[in-house]
Amino acid sequence: MKKRYQSIISKFAKANILVIGDLILDEYIYGKVDRISPEAPVPVVWVNQQHFLPGGASNVAANLRGLGAQVSLAGIVGKDEKGEKLLSALKQKHIDTIGVTEAFNRKTSVKTRIIGGSQQVVRVDWESVEPIAPNLQRRTEDFIIKNIKRFDAVIIEDYGKGFITKDIVSCAVSQARLHKKVITVDPKEEHFSYYAGVTAITPNRKETENAIRDIKIKSTVNNLKVFSDRLLNNDDINAAGKELLEYLKLEAVLITLGDEGMRLFEKGKQPYHIDTVAQEVFDVSGAGDTVISVFTLALAIGASMAEAAELANYAAGIVVGKMGVVAVEQKQLLAEVKKYS
């Protein structure tokens, strides 16, 4: 199996992936804490370092580049200083931003994390979440239609910041199906009804639970024991995965379950559970981005669903063991495969 995974990873550089989604700039402010503020019961952080990284759909693109793939982004940033920082960071990573629009009437989404010592003290979000203007939506749809043939797969990264609309998803799905391209979604629970007909989705446990409630599936899922926002047992998770598979007409559902690993659902097959390989969990930020990046990239070069899910699990184990949103590199994934397979 190790040789098979190594063979799949070695082909990553042959793939060209389109990522469509909400672009976010991740800002990290580091400092030390040695006293509590006299103004309020909060720590005072003495700042000594600041840096910026691509986040949201941009982090998915960064993961794909780190794994060797060619990547193009479609999304929106504000015509502002933070938008320039994000575009500069993407260009430094050789990520194609021709599908990214700079908008004068919209600010760039920024997540600022303030870290005192090794502990995140607070996160501050600066963002616009209203749906994008119709002309910007049409521009994105035109980009998809004109360029779809050159991509091997499409990833829709939905953070609920307004860029992903029903019409954009519909355009992407119809074009991907027309040209026989893999199309996957890292979902936002409010938008599950948009995703009908994609190849696969990769929800976490909470997103799965909310989807079951929100899209009103009328079959065995009505009997799920959902309590305190948690599916209580394996049977509940299995029922939910199977129902999403059928309701949205998908080829696969990959549910991520935190420290319990992942569970893959495919049409006509029994659920396939994958135990986590993470040794320590420091930060789950960006783990979902990593999962969909590796899962989709593996599918794009011919891996089976199970193989793609196993590789995604290895990659997630790397990310959660590090502080902050980080992109997995191909050599790291190869080392993880060598260690565990």
Q: Are 109 and 24 in contact (CB under 8 A)?
A: yes
Buried-state track 184-223, b at ≥16 Cβ within 10 A, e below 16: bbbbbbebbebbebbbbbbbbbebbbbbbeebebeeebee
Q: Tell how strand 70-78 and strand 16-21 pair up.
A: parallel
Q: Mind telling me the catalytic residues?
A: 289
Query: 269 φ, ψ to 5°?
Result: -130, 160
Which 8-state DSSP code applies to residue 270? -
In sequence order, the 6+-apart residues with CB closer than 8 A to the CB of 57 are 19, 20, 21, 22, 23, 24, 73, 75, 155, 157, 159
DSSP 178-221: HTT-EEEEE--GGGGGGGTT-SEE--BHHHHHHHHHHTT--SGG
